[in-house]
Amino acid sequence: MPALVDPAKCTACEECVSVCPTECIAMVEGKALVNPDDCTECEACVDACPETAIRMV
């Protein structure tokens, strides 16, 4: 199950982009967006997000 960003909570700090080992998080229109095809479910982004905007689904 890949990571999913709640855009309503995302403040575009880009911490998740920095920590993702597969570089599968991009900023799209000011919000983080995970490409689920490249997500290895490491949960690094979940731990890094200061807004708790990311969860595994």
> Shortest approach of ligand SF4 to residue 29 CB, angstroms?
12
Contact residues: ligand SF4, CB under 6 A: 2-3, 5, 10-16, 19-22, 24-25, 32, 34, 39-45, 48-49, 51, 53-54
> Shortest approach of ligand SF4 to residue 57 CB, angstroms?
11
> Shortest approach of ligand SF4 to residue 7 CB, angstroms?
8
What are residue 56's DSSP bridge partners? 3
Centroid of chain to Cα 39: 10
Torsion of Cα atoms, 14 then 27 then 38 then 19, to 10°: -10
